[in-house]
Amino acid sequence: MGGSERTVVWFRRDLRIDDNPALVAAARDGSVLPVFIWCPADEGQYYPGRCSRWWLKQSLPHLSKSLESLGCPLVLIRAETTLAALLQCIDSIGATKLVYNHLYDPISLVRDDKIKKELSARGISVKSFNGDLLYEPWDVYDDSGHAFTTFNMYWEKCMKLPVEISPSLAPWRLVPVPGVENVCSCSIDDLGLESNKDEESSNALLRRAWSPGWRNAEKMLEEFVCHGLLEYSKHGMKVGGTTTSLLSPYLHFGEVSVRKVYQLVRMQQIKLENEERSEAEEGVHFFLRSIGLREYSRYLCFNFPFTHERSLLGNLKHYPWRVDEDRFKSWRQGMTGYPLVDAGMRELWATGWTHNRIRVIVSSFAVKFLLIPWTWGMKYFWDVLLDADLESDILGWQYISGSLPDGHELSRLDNPEVQGQKYDPDGEYVRTWIPELARMPTEWIHHPWDAPGCILEVAGVELGFNYPKPIVELHIARECLDDAISTMWQLDTAAKLAESDGEVVEDNLSNIKSFDIPKVVLKETSPSALPVNQKVPYASSKNHNAKLKELKGSNKHTICVDTIRSSKIEGTNSVANLPVSRKRFGSDTAFHVPCCSSSAEVHSRNQDHCGSLVGSSRYLLQEAGKNCADEVEDNSSSDSGTSISRPSKRAA
């Protein structure tokens, strides 16, 4: 701490003292001003939901108290723009440097690049660090210099690379900068993280279940490593109880570093091996793969920054999503008539949390049974999840919707009834969250529509009155999904012919204006510095060439693939008050996705303006810094008997 620099440390999703590279660097170079800036305008359509804001409100005082004990309390600022707030801090104390830890989502990439350019032009030194990942995205590419598009290949490459598993220690002391009283700061309440009394009362449940803060994160990690890691691989079959690490919100807000998690898990692995406890190997393996999925979510967002609004696979740009606000509302409120799905959605609304298995089931139901655009579901998860994480949610929803080369097959349709019997065999989870079905016998709990009238009468269930009938029957859902896939291939074939004539074909998702998701375009900073464009995968279809031949010779004209109407989704409505009595439980990343060994054929086809997006995003962070949760969870071949199928329709 012998330096003379005056440094602003910009805290974001790294709310910890231990293993915080930006904080350590600032403390080493001189005096420090720790600052957290709350700027709702910068968040745009990804303004954090109630539960996420509650967590932030608890975590910030915890961090401030720790910083104060080191000599520098945290300065809180509510601002119109982040850039203006940082400039005000720098001018108030005469700072010469700004430091922060990397973020990898496309919105943060654009904001950080703008801030770096502006401050650099004013002669302020800007440095950023890796405080969130084991492997930086620009360090992991295939032999051709292209980004990986399947998790298995990505993680296999990562396992061959060295990883720095020794976290940096927290500074012993921080030297406060003179002039800190000139900074326009505010109190934690003035940030407006809880907007009204209703939110405060709704958050009472969260206070009973969770303890935010970096010290609590470390306690949670130690408890999991010592007691939960051994049985981790078996927990994918349970949707109730404390069955996972519970680390996902702590990881999202950066209250514990992934390096520390990795280090402690590996140390425990060595200890268990020395004790010859071979049964622990499977649990360690699955947990490390879940950490790998979190890494992969950042990797995909960095290399393909359009994935928050468009499918990675090119052919899905023509998928005829169904814009149905009523169905979307029924799904959100847990009123679909499928008990396991409804229980999951009601728990999600009431608590901001569900087990990863439930997240997979409800999201799959939305996109496969209801054909709801996956971007709608992703945005809803972002609004209500306690551990909402944009990168992980993008990975999860693209995986479930068949938008990734190694994701669920587009034609896969899982039966919620069979899944209920598999993951909630006693029906206790359903009874907890659907009181209308509390007296239903276990035999009928997951398919009450098949129960005899006398059983329903005794249980007090009147389908269509106090509990809905199925929103869509299984065989109808199967037919609609097959028809949608057939339509997609027809439109895809027609679009290829149109593009060969120089016509512009729009993406179906671009016509869905429900959430006004911002279009992020990263401008090229230095064309000569840009790397080779990444290849965007494109799913192949059998008999696809035959379709092209059949359309040849037809009259060619401008083709519009806008097969769905634009609409604005109304605000999310609350479900009825639900009794809640439970302990914390959930998944280890914001949205785990299982790992598939098979992947679709990948073409070397660049999608729209992907080249400039990818090249620029990699360049920006190079300049700046230069959830298979397990195969048990959801392997497409492991759920034998849960998938509803019929001969697939293809375009004639």
Which residues contribute to the annotated binding site for FAD? 232, 244-248, 287, 387-389
Q: How far apart are CA 490 and CA 238, in angstroms?
A: 41
C-alpha closest to that of 440 among 339, 531, 536, 511: 339
The strand pairing partners of 30, in sequence order, are 5
Given a contact cutoff of 8 angstroms between Cβ atoms, the answer to whether 400 and 629 are in contact is no
Which residue type does 165 have? I
Collapsing DSSP to helix, strand or coil, 480 comes out as helix
CA distance 434 to 334: 9
Residue 30: its H or E element: strand 30-38
Eight-state DSSP code of residue 241:
S
- Cα 318 to its chain centre, rounded Å, is 24
Phi, psi (rounded to 5 degrees) for 125: -75, 135
3-state secondary structure of 339: helix
Three-class DSSP category at 158: helix
Binding residues: 232, 244-248, 287, 387-389
Separation between Cα atoms, residue 103 and residue 316, nearest integer Å: 28
Spatial neighbors of 572 by CB under 8 A, at least 6 apart, are 332, 380, 383, 384
The Cα–Cα gap between 404 and 599 comes to 8
Residues 378, 373: Cα–Cα separation, whole Å: 9
Report how far Cα 367 is from the mean position of its chain's Cα atoms: 16
Phi-psi region of 271 (alpha: psi -120 to 50; beta: other; left: phi over 0): alpha
Q: Which residues pair with 6 in a beta bridge?
A: 31
The rounded distance, in Å, linking the Cα atoms of 205 and 120 is 45
Beta strands (DSSP E) in 172-287 are none
Q: How far apart are CA 640 and CA 402, in angstroms?
A: 19
Burial of 302 (0-12, 13-18, 19+ CB in 10 A): buried
Alpha-carbon span 175 to 334, nearest angstrom: 53
Q: Are 354 and 375 in contact (CB under 8 A)?
A: no
Decide: helix, strand or coil at residue 605.
strand
Cα angle at 607 between 494 and 547, to 5 degrees? Answer: 25
Distances (CA, A) of 380 to 46, 162, 357, 509, 599: 10, 38, 17, 16, 28
CB atoms within 10 A of CB 605: 12
CA-CA distance, 634 to 631, in Å (whole number)? 6
Cα–Cα distance list, 49 to 235, 267, 381, 571, 573 (Å): 28, 36, 9, 13, 14
Edge-to-edge strand ranges of the sheet holding 5-11: 75-78, 30-38, 5-11, 97-101, 125-129
d(Cα 313, Cα 602) in Å, to the nearest integer?
9
Phi, psi of 37 (to 5 degrees): -115, 125
Q: At residue 182, what is the residue type?
A: N
